[in-house]
A and B are shown apart, each in its own frame.
Chain A
Amino acid sequence: MANDIKNKHNKTKQSAKKSKLKMQPYQDLAKTKLAKTDPGSAIDMVAKARIADRMCGSDFIRYALTDFVELHGDRAYGDDNAITCGIGFLDDLAVTVITLEKGKTTNERIKRNFGSAHPEGYRKALRLMKQAEKFERPVICFVDTSGAYCGIGAEERGQGHAIARNLMEMMTLNTPILSVLTGEGGSGGALGLAVADEVWMMQNSIYSVISPEGCASILYKDEKKSPEAAEALKLTSKNLLSFGIVEQIIPENDKTLSNLKTKILEKLHSLLQLDPAELIKRRYDRFRKIGKYEEKKEILIVN
């Protein structure tokens, strides 16, 4: 059995080598994509958000956390490598960190299933959030995913149920939660780790209910119209800040990591000051107020 897996893995490795899908070409791919798009346009932002060697949660763990211990498994089915969870010290503060990311090298990408988590990943995250609640540790989530994995196994093991559970439990988790979207915030798969007291976005990240390609193929029956779709979906960090969906945009420069560390520490300390009931009430209200609608007084009749 183990040998089978090993062989399979080696084969994938070889085929990856054959197709020259190493780290370098990924970056090239991203660059060529960048070259084709108008700088500053929504689709340009999408391309930037998908660059393979963007800053991700693991970078933050390596940079900012001391004594980090990774914890595995959902205690029900298995472990999901797309999501890394663990505990460590952020200065003197013990925190639980959960990071969903795509991986930078080919091997890492394969291991992480290209950042698309299975139900066991969301369940592992929830298990560790509940653990954080028990030990009164704040939770930091980093998210970069094109979406929760859609495949046979994921459906069989209740992808919808796993995400739904997370949304519900995170809403009343009795400890501060902070979510940072580092690259792509792909629909329910991202939201499953982004029901938080504050959600921040990296300058060049995106957050959307559907990928621009998906949207274009449904709406215009043509994937090539994804630039239009990206524009229409208003998925850039600037758009989302103006809508009040996120609280902060983290500028991307050579000081990103140190800047992020300072900001996260500041925010966590201020959230820890709050009474737990107040914290949960604020989190509820944060999501409660999102969205616009009209409430007409007269009785409307549709023919």
Chain B
Amino acid sequence: MLKHIFKKPNIEPEVPVSIEYHKCIDCGTKVDLRKFEDDLKECVCGKSLPLSARKRIDSIADKSSFVELHKNLCTVDILEFKDYKTKLETAKKASGELEAVIVGHCSINGLLCCIFVMDTHFFMGSMGVVVGEKITRIFEYATINNLPVIGFCASGGARMQEGIFSLMQMAKTSGAIKRHSDKGLLYISDLTNPTTGGVTASFAMESDIIIAEPKSLIAFAGPRVIEQTIKQKLPFGFQISDFVLNKGFIDLIVKRKELKPELAKLLRMHCKSEK
């Protein structure tokens, strides 16, 4: 459904291989490839390429503070869905990860928090049982240990190949988030390109503070599905961060490079003084 979004960035820039620079697909700005990597794959205009979960963690966590939890949870082909096993293997190879989310705890400018990071390189970041389970577990862990949670969402929605079980993950994660919230703990979500479907309709939108990356698609139904349903072309910028901000569904838009100090600031404001 949302394949085109993921495919777009993979288009090789039409330049000779010897000159290594990145040309923004949005504004056309050319940047040296190394500088582009340093800028966390984000153009000056805000348009970015998908960042792997590990790189994202490096970009916000204090050096070597990240401890991964539940990393050996593996997906089983619960419905015996055609070609699912092969696709899982391909996804594993493409991303170097076992599933579409990494969970753990880390510190940000010395402040301890739990973190989950979704990775679109794995199966378009779709939510299956393991994604739901890992996120549920990290919220349960945070609830027990009185820790805030920071979550990076990036997903094409529920994972069709796990059928109804993937749908139920929406309810499962929501339950864990509610318990965490009822204990007076902070949850900040950062919506990255794209955050859609079942993820939008559950943990992405259930946080106390919703941050979004610039120029990200944030939607329940993807633009193509809507266009097919209403048989109309959608206006420019529909469902993109700025639009969603104007409609009142996110709190703020923050660039990748500026995120760490922003998160640290917010975390500090929610620290309860230890007596």
Contacts and interface: CB of A to CB of B under 8 A. Distances in A.
A303 B93 contact: yes
Contacts of B179: 172, 284
Contacts, number: 189
Interface string A45-88: 00000000000000000000000000000000000000000000
Contacts of A292: 76, 78, 129, 165
Given A167-B202, A208-B164, A302-B98, A295 B171 contact: no
B190 to A, nearest CB: 16
Contacts of B221: 148, 150, 154-155, 159
Contacts of A155: 219-221, 226, 238-239
B133 A291 contact: yes
A168 B160 contact: no
B73 interface: yes
B177 A168 contact: yes
Contact of B201 (A152, A160, A234): A160
B62 interface: no
Contacts of B56: none
Interface residues of A, number: 57
Contact of A291 (B74, B98, B169): B169
A160 B205 contact: yes
Interface residues of B, number: 64
Interface of A: 148, 150-152, 154-161, 163-165, 167-169, 171-172, 187-188, 191-192, 195, 207-210, 214-215, 218-219, 232-235, 240, 243, 245, 283-284, 287-288, 290-300, 302-303
29 contacts: A152-B230, A152-B238, A158-B249, A161-B205, A161-B249, A163-B201, A164-B201, A167-B170, A167-B206, A168-B174, A168-B177, A169-B178, A172-B178, A187-B158, A188-B170, A191-B167, A192-B201, A208-B167, A209-B164, A215-B160, A232-B82, A234-B79, A234-B163, A287-B171, A288-B175, A291-B133, A297-B72, A302-B95, A303-B93
